[in-house]
Amino acid sequence: MKEAIVSITDLCTSFDGFVVHDHVSLEILKGEVFAIAGSSGCGKSTLLREIIMLQKPDSGSIRVFGREITGLSEEAALDLRKRWGMMFERSALFSSLNVLENVGLPLREHTLLSRELVDEIASIKIALAGLPQSARTKYPDELSGGMRKRAALARALSLDPELLFLDEPTAGLDPLSASGFDELVLNLKHSLPLTMVIVTHDLDLLWHVADRVAFMGGGQVLGVGTMQELSKSEDPLIREYFYGPRGRAAREQAWKPR
């Protein structure tokens, strides 16, 4: 049995009386690409924010790398955060920094490496994210949406994380750019010793990349399994997700020879 990198038990969250999470439990295993999916407003992004300690649940347990994250000291929380990388949906790049400076920022903040070595490592991460070296000197407003996503991914990889979080990585991208990002995630999966957690509603990404998927709805986890397993679920919300027009198209595309 693989080690659980993230363990969530009996998690409850509500906002002004609206239930977001109703006793949610799940495990994310070492080395897998685990996706959290569901329709808009199902609580998947809130769950991600709780895992990375940007938001506190009302009750329940979240353990990351075996550590209970609720009640951690500021120093212990910082040490834990250094072990993961986070790519935000809107990239969250600093507009006043170029790509090289954005990617190198975590290294400058959390290590004592020289500027030359920081720039060298940042350049490696930029290449790993599939960006040309000419992008290093560009600023975020000079980049396309797909290039901003890749720059944000390079920054998330800068400290060689064991755990990588991707929040809606293909949102807002054209189909060609989204497909390219799918392939990039697959390459990372095969080349780096990473556990990846992806929050997405992109069915193509789910079919092509995810090892397992947790499908959320009504404040609960309605099912966990491979996409093939979930596509056979009798739950009406899951069936609607998979067998609507977009779901059928994504499933048919995934089953074509690649």
185-243: pLDDT as tens digits: 999 999 999 999 999 989 999 999 999 999 999 899 999 999 999 999 999 999 888 88
Cβ neighbours for 126, distance < 8 A, ≥ 6 positions apart: 99, 100, 103, 133, 135, 136, 151, 154
122-129 mean pLDDT: 97
Do 111 and 219 fall into the same domain?
Answer: no
What value, to the nearest 5°, has the Cα angle with vertex 37 and ends 34 and 41? 140
pLDDT digits (tens, 9 = 90+) for 135-184: 999 999 999 999 999 999 999 999 999 999 999 999 888 999 999 999 99
CA distance 234 to 229: 11
CA distance 134 to 130: 12
Domain assignment of residue 243, yes or no: yes
The encoded tokens of residue 139 equal 């600023």
pLDDT at 249 over 70: no
Distance of CA 236 to the CA centre of its chain: 26
Domain assignment of residue 166, yes or no: no
Do 28 and 63 fall into the same domain?
Answer: yes
Do 61 and 99 fall into the same domain?
Answer: no
Confidence class for position 2, pLDDT limits 50, 70, 90:
confident
Total domains present in the chain: 2
pLDDT at 80: 94
Kindly report the average pLDDT of the chain as a whole number.
91
Domain that holds residue 111: 94-161
pLDDT at 252 over 60: no
pLDDT at 68: 96
Supply the pTM of this predicted model. Answer: 0.91
Confidence class for position 16, pLDDT limits 50, 70, 90:
confident
117-130 mean pLDDT: 97
pLDDT at 111: 94
Portion of the chain with pLDDT greater than 70, in percent: 94
pLDDT at 247 over 70: no
Do 79 and 178 fall into the same domain?
Answer: yes
Do 121 and 73 fall into the same domain?
Answer: no
Which residues on neighbouring strands pair with residue 68, listed in sequence order?
Answer: 63
Of 183, 211, 178, 208, nearest in space to 197 by CA: 211
CA distance 115 to 105: 11
pLDDT at 71: 85
Distances (CA, A) of 95 to 133, 140, 223: 19, 6, 40
Domain assignment of residue 256, yes or no: yes
Do 146 and 198 fall into the same domain?
Answer: no
The encoded tokens of residue 5 equal 């990198």
pLDDT at 196: 97
CATH of the domain at 196: 3.40.50.300
What value, to the nearest 5°, has the Cα angle with vertex 236 and ends 234 and 238? 80
Q: How many of the other CB atoms lie within 10 Å of CB of 232?
A: 11
Instruction: Choose between 42 and 51: higher pLDDT.
Output: 51
Domain assignment of residue 74, yes or no: yes
pLDDT at 92 over 70: yes
pLDDT at 241: 85
pLDDT at 246: 55
Do 111 and 135 fall into the same domain?
Answer: yes
